[in-house]
Amino acid sequence: MKAATRIGLGLAGLAVVGGAVYAAPRFLEHGADTAEQRLGARPGTSKAAPAGTPFTLVATGDIIPYPSIIQRSQDDAGKPGEYDFRKILAGVKPLVAAADLAICHHEIPYGRPGGPYTGYPAFKAPHQLADALKDAGYDSCSTASNHTLDDGYDGLTRTLDHLDRVGLRHVGSARSAEEAKAPALLSAGGAKVAQLDYTYGTNGIPLPAGKPWAVNLIDQGRIIADARAARAAGANVVVLSIHWGTEWQTAPDQQQRDLAQALTASRGADGLPDIDLVLGTHNHVPQPYEKINGTWVVFGMGDQVASFYEPEKARGNMSSIPRFTFAPAAAYSGRWEVVKAEYLTQYSDMGPPFRVVCASCAADRPEYARVDKEVTAAVTSRGAVGQGLEHASR
C-alpha cells in the first residue's frame, strides 16, 4: 500500500559547493511552520529525525508509445478519438502499486489533443498516458531525455501540465527557472526522498531560446551541487535518475562507468554519500546493476513500454524492474540506506493484444522464462549477485 504523502515545493536555505551557492529546496508537509517541525531537526545538528520504518522503491524504464502502442490504446478505449493505456500496464500494476514509492521514466512529450500522434524520430503521444501511469500507482516520473523537446517547448509544457493534472511528481524538465531548481520531493516510511534527473542531450534540438533551464543536462558538478542542496533541505535519501549510455549496448560505456564512479564517490562534509541510488535509462536494453563505492547503480533498466518487431531488436522489448528497500541507517542519524536490493524482469509482450507483463512473475511460461533468463544475464553481468542483489518473482 502506498505510504507516500503529497509534498509541495518551495525554496529555503543555501548549500555551498565548490564556492558556488545553491538554493536548497524545502519540504513542505501538512502546513508545518518551521524547519524543525518539517524535518525533525536541522541538517548537521545532533537532534535525530524520526527513526521511521523501512520502505520499498520500485523503478521502471523508458515509456515509449510507438504508433502501434498508441493504436492498441485506442482499440482498448473502444471509441474513436479516445485512448486508454491502463490495460497495457495492468500486468505490472500490482508490483508498482504495492511499492511505497514508484518511479517511471517518461521518455516522450504529449501532442496536442486530437493529434497527430507520431513515432520515431519525433514522438508525440496522447496525454491519456498520464492517467494510466497514475492508475498504475506511480508517484513520480523523470522527464529529461533525448526526446523531451520532440514537440518543442509547447510539448514539454503540455506534458508537465498533464502530469500535474493527475497528481504525478516530475523532474528533469521545467516550465520555469524556479521549477528547474527543484527535485521531485516524496515521502515514505518517515523519510524525505529527493529525486533528481538529467539527460546527455536532446538529439541536437537546441534548448528553447531564453529558457536554458528547460531540460536538465548532465553535468557532474551540477548533479553533486543539486544533491547537496537537497541534503541541506533535509532529504534523507537522494535518488538520481539519469538518461545516458549507448543505445543497444548491454555493457555500460565509458561515460557511464566514469560518471558512476565519480558520483558515487562524492561525499558531503559529514563524509556520507551525496547520492543514495542511481537509476539509468536510454539504452533500450537491460544493462547491469553494480554496487559502486557502496551505492547501487542501475546502469540501464531497458524500455518498459516498447514495440520492436524486428528480430534483431527483440531485446528492446525486455527490461528489468529494480526494487530497493531503504531503512534508517543505524550508524548515522537522519540517513537511510539500502538494506535489500532486488530485481524483477519485464516484457513488452507483442500479443495480440500488446501488454506489458512481469516475466519473472510468470516464468513457468517458456517465452517468459526465456526473457527472464536473458534479462537476468544482463543485470548480473558485473557481479551484482555477489554484492547482494536478489532475483524476485513477485
Q: Give the pLDDT confidence of 7-51 residue by residue, as tens digits.
A: 333 333 333 333 333 344 444 332 222 222 322 333 333 334 447
Q: Is 274 helix (H, G, I), strand (E, B) or coil?
A: coil
Q: What is the pLDDT of residue 277?
A: 99
Distance CA 180, CA 174 (A): 5
% of the chain at pLDDT higher than 70: 87
Query: Phi, psi at residue 328, to the nearest 5°?
Result: -55, 135
204 Cβ neighbours under 8 A, 6+ residues apart: none
Q: Is the pLDDT of residue 109 over 90?
A: yes
Distance CA 338, CA 32 (A): 28
DSSP 313: G
Strand order in the sheet with 237-243: 184-188, 191-199, 237-243, 277-281, 295-298, 289-292
In DSSP terms, 355 is beta-bridged to 349
Q: Cell numbers for 250, please give them.
A: 548491454
Residues in the chain: 394
Distance CA 91, CA 99 (A): 15
Distance CA 299, CA 260 (A): 9
Query: Taking a C-beta distance cutoff of 8 angstroms, is the pair 209, 222 a contact?
Result: no
Looking from the CA of 114 toward its CB, the CA atoms found within 13 Å total 0
Distance CA 253, CA 11 (A): 36
Distance CA 327, CA 40 (A): 17
Q: What is the pLDDT of residue 11?
A: 30
DSSP 50: P
For the chain, give every domain's residue range.
Answer: 54-391
DSSP 202: -
- The Cβ of residue 293 has, within 10 Å, a number of other Cβ atoms equal to 15
% of the chain at pLDDT higher than 90: 86
Q: What is the pLDDT of residue 51?
A: 77
Q: Name the pTM for this structure.
A: 0.89
Q: Which residue has the cell 500479443?
A: 351
Distance CA 198, CA 215 (A): 8
Span 294-305, pLDDT tens digits: 999 999 999 999
In single-letter form, the type of residue at position 67 comes to P
Q: What is the pLDDT of residue 2?
A: 63
Query: Taking a C-beta distance cutoff of 8 angstroms, is the pair 343, 95 a contact?
Result: no
Chain-centre distance for alpha carbon 240: 8
Assigned architecture for domain 54-391: 4-Layer Sandwich (3.60)
